[in-house]
Amino acid sequence: MTHADEIIPADYRHLLEQPNYGHLGTIRPDDTVQVTPMWFEFDGEHVRFTHTTYRQKYRNLQHNPSMALSIIDPENPFHYLEVAGALVDVVPDPEGAFYVQLQNRYGNPSDVPPRDKADRVILVMSIERATKQ
């Protein structure tokens, strides 16, 4: 059993496992919140996102590593899962391979990396708590 298994309610885990769109919240340097729709992948322990090093969300996470992801259940929009934690790793992805993997996961088949591949990284989020409805 992983740490995430202890936190994520079993009947909501599918929301992390399926290619649902999530809304990722981070804290800007002026301490206001930024929320952005994101592709993601859950590896059983962490949530991973593709991003670039020159966008605001990356700068936010350098200032404050706190992150939260909410996912609305597409089968029942009255249900949602929120997982919250922190940025625990930034993995260089200079070929954009993880971007390609996610774009295929989300139904846009291609093996062409993004134009900004040289600036691509994988943001790795821990899961410290979860809420649901």
> Residue 2: its pLDDT value, please?
76
- pLDDT classification of 37: cutoffs 50, 70, 90: very high
Instruction: Determine the distance from the C-alpha atom of residue 80 to the mean position of all C-alpha atoms in its chain, rounded to a whole number.
Output: 15
Per residue in 1-28, pLDDT (tens digit) is 678 889 999 999 999 999 999 999 999 9
Residue 101 gets the label, from left (phi > 0), alpha (psi -120 to 50) or beta, of: alpha
> Residue 1: its pLDDT value, please?
64
Per residue in 44-89, pLDDT (tens digit) is 999 999 999 999 999 999 999 999 999 999 999 999 999 999 999 9
DSSP 85-115: EEEEEEEE-TT-HHHHHHHHHTT----PPPT
Name the pTM for this structure: 0.95
CA distance 5 to 41: 16
> Residue 4: its pLDDT value, please?
87
Domains of the chain in start order, with CATH, are 3-132 (2.30.110.10)
Length of the chain: 133
Element (H, E) at 66: strand 66-72
Letter string b/e over residues 41-61, b meaning 16 or more CB atoms within 10 A of that residue's CB = bbeeebbbbbbbeeeebbebb
> Residue 3: its pLDDT value, please?
86
- pLDDT classification of 107: cutoffs 50, 70, 90: very high
Mean pLDDT of 87-95: 98
CA distance 73 to 83: 14
CA distance 70 to 24: 7
